[in-house]
Structure 1
Amino acid sequence: MADVSLEIRKVIFEKYNNPDIRFTNDEIFEILQQNNSIDKSLVIDDVEKYFTDLCDAGLMRNIAQNFTTQYFKLFDDVEKIKCNSCNVESPIGKSEPRVCPACRASI
């Protein structure tokens, strides 16, 4: 199964790539399940740590929470950047440090 954090980044890039749009962990989780991008045995609580990691990385910020639903906004637009080390194209926020989410190499 693919890296959950990278799969979340892909959904954000494709569906919510605008700092003015808010989105929820529930919306992204539902898309990941529909696309078979994550293990079907995972529940929303299992992926909470990935959303926290993406906030800590500087991609997005938590703007509100209602029980288990978290609302987020991007800090900046997201762009796809190809890593020269691992050859993976990853969505990275324009204001994030230039580090590959797949292999952690500098971009």
Structure 2
Amino acid sequence: MADIPITNSIRKVIFENFNEDDLRFNNDQIFEILKKDDMIAQNLTIDDIEVYFKELCDTELLRNIAQNFTTQWFKLFDPLEKIQCNSCKTDSYITQSENKICKNPDCGSNL
């Protein structure tokens, strides 16, 4: 498992699998991909990563369109684009309306 912040991993999964603003997807789908691809610790539960989905909603990347117990359904406000940082070579997945800052917490350079 790489040492990448979970929100960045979620952004990557969304970019690769659900990157359309009219597409519905849920946290369970993303969680399964994160686990399958070893992007999160295998002992984490869906409840453990709920806070990261809330963070992405708070930044207006995602909009919560429905919820049933622990399953949350989302849509993107805007599609993500992949930009590689010239400083650290890390890929960042951001929308056009977001600040163009590297999502690598050890870098933070302008993209």
**Which residue of 2 is the match for residue 13 of structure 1?**
15
For structure 1, the 5+ residue unaligned runs are none
Pair 1:61 & 2:63 matched: yes
| Equivalent position to 1:45, from 44, 47, 61 | 47
- TM-score (normalised: structure 1): 0.90
Deviation at 1:95, TM superposition (A): 2.3
- TM (norm. structure 2) is 0.87
Letter in 1 for 2:59: A
SS at match of 2:52: helix
Stretch of structure 1 that moved more, 88-97 or 8-17: 88-97
Q: Which residue of 2 aligns with 1:95?
A: 97
2:110 is matched by which residue type in structure 1?
S
Q: 2:83 aligns to what?
A: 81
Q: Provide, for residues 7-50 of structure 1, a one-character-per-residue CA deviation record: whole Å limited to 9, x for no partner.
A: 11110000000000011000000111111111001000000011
User: What SS class does the counterpart of residue 101 from structure 2 fall into?
Assistant: coil
Question: Secondary structure of the residue that 2:92 maps to in structure 1?
Answer: strand
How many residue pairs are counted as aligned between the two chains? 107
1:30 and 2:4 aligned: no
CA–CA separation in structure 2 for the residues paired with 1:65 and 1:87: 37
Aligned AA (1:32): L
Q: Is the 8 A contact 1:83 1:89 kept in 2?
A: yes
In the alignment, is the contact (CA less than 8 A) between 1:75 and 1:95 conserved in 2? no
Partner residue, 1:106: 110
Using the TM superposition, give the Cα deviation of residue 70 of structure 1 relative to its aligned residue in structure 2, in angstroms.
0.5
Name the % identity. 53
Pick which of 83-92 and 67-76 moved more.
83-92
Structure 2 residue ranges without an equivalent (≥5):
none
Which runs of structure 1 show a deviation greater than 3 angstroms over 4 or more consecutive aligned residues?
Answer: none
